[in-house]
Amino acid sequence: AQRVTQPEKLLSVFKGAPVELKCNYSYSGSPELFWYVQYSRQRLQLLLRHISRESIKGFTADLNKGETSFHLKKPFAQEEDSAMYYCALRPFRGAQKLVFGQGTRLTINP
């Protein structure tokens, strides 16, 4: 079965400090990995996906197949980064369902 684990429910860092939100997954195949973000009073939205290898709002994430991880990183946190972050897995490219982790609430302190 597919599973996504985000070990930290809460993460608090100071503005300007580096941020790393951890995500580990279990799946034997070649999944697609995503990070979704939900800002206060807004809907869930895609932040980035591993196949795009892009940087969005200063965030990057690298898929490590050996460690089955997809950690989200940003070198210098900003107050507007405060939000709920969900790591998600799609079992394979043609699959439809997303499997989400429990989420990490990130708070950036001024």
Partner 1 sequence: DTGVSQDPRHKITKRGQNVTFRCDPISEHNRLYWYRQTLGQGPEFLTYFQNEAQLEKSRLLSDRFSAERPKGSFSTLEIQRTEQGDSAMYLCASSFPGTSGSYEQYFGPGTRLTVT
CB closer to partner 1, 27 vs 100: 100
Q: Quick check: 89 and 4 in contact, CB under 8 A?
A: yes
How far apart, in Å, are the Cα atoms of 19 and each of 43, 50, 91? 22, 18, 27
| Binding residues for partner 1, total number by CB under 8 A | 18
- Cα dihedral 5, 55, 85, 45 sign: negative
**Binding-site member from 7, 12, 20, 44 for partner 1 (CB under 8 A):** 44
Among 7, 26, 39, 46, binds partner 1 (CB under 8 A): 46
Residue among 18 and 97 whose Cβ is closer to partner 1: 97
- Select the residue interacting with partner 1 from 25, 35, 59, 86 (CB under 8 A): 86
With 0-12 CB in 10 A as exposed, 13-18 as middle and 19+ as buried, what is 7? exposed
Binding site for partner 1 (CB under 8 A): 4, 9, 43-46, 49, 51, 86, 88, 96-103
